[in-house]
Chain A
Amino acid sequence: QKEVEQDPGPLSVPEGAIVSLNCTYSNSAFQYFMWYRQYSRKGPELLMYTYSSGNKEDGRFTAQVDKSSKYISLFIRDSQPSDSATYLCAMKRGNNRLAFGKGNQVVVIP
């Protein structure tokens, strides 16, 4: 079993819809959770960073962490065509390396 599971299947939504992305993990020692957005031919850009269970909101983005279920989510409200990108979940324990999900390609259709 991989440490981090993220369904890479492309996700197409109409503009204005809510985008919902999920990752599950197996290592209960993970403490820090991140979501990165990566546009084509660019490096990943940090969107959300959290270390506690619950919700964290930043503009149209909400990150949700459920440590008891080993499950994290990213919600994008009022999605825009500019949100079309690949979204990577990542997590780590303390000072250790990041464990990445495979990434979710999101397409927002105008």
Chain B
Amino acid sequence: GAVVSQHPSWVICKSGTSVKIECRSLDFQATTMFWYRQFPKQSLMLMATSNEGSKATYEQGVEKDKFLINHASLTLSTLTVTSAHPEDSSFYICSAREDVRTNQPQHFGDGTRLSIL
């Protein structure tokens, strides 16, 4: 149980393109999903917390107009990197938590490798 699916797994695109990444909880409902960014050989950096039916909460230093988050249903959150540039190249990972009991751990997707040329 507690499977989180992330799509696509790898994206290569030109500078200036907008890229959408999907995160789905497959076998549970997730009121809350999280978006992380990870640089090589470093730990995960929380970018934003996505709440179903409301605006996402962004961490300090993360541009909300650059990284658009939509959490329209209890099983789907999307992250759109708008007008992506080479410095946005990174590994983006989502996670979701079952909210029946809030002390449940987060389960992670397999990440999306984004390469901007």
Contact = CB atoms under 8 A, between A and B. Distances in A.
Contacts of A8: 41
Nearest to B107: A46
A43 B21 CA distance: 14
Interface in B79-117: 91, 93, 95, 102-103, 105-111, 113
Given A94-B103, A95-B102, A43 B43 contact: no
Q: What does DSSP make chain B's interface, helix, strand, loop or mixed?
A: strand
Interface residues of A, number: 23
A101 B42 CA distance: 10
Given A88-B43, A100-B44, A101-B43, A49 B105 contact: yes
Nearest to B108: A43
A1 B41 CA distance: 21
Contacts of A102: 42-43
Contacts of A105: 41
Contacts of B34: 97-98
A18 B66 CA distance: 45
Interface of A: 8, 31-32, 34, 36, 41-46, 49, 51, 88, 94-95, 97-98, 100-103, 105
7 contacts: A34-B105, A44-B93, A44-B108, A46-B105, A94-B102, A97-B49, A98-B106
Given A31-B103, A44-B108, 15 more contacts: A32-B105, A34-B105, A41-B111, A42-B110, A44-B44, A44-B93, A46-B2, A46-B106, A88-B43, A95-B102, A97-B49, A100-B43, A102-B42, A102-B43, A105-B41
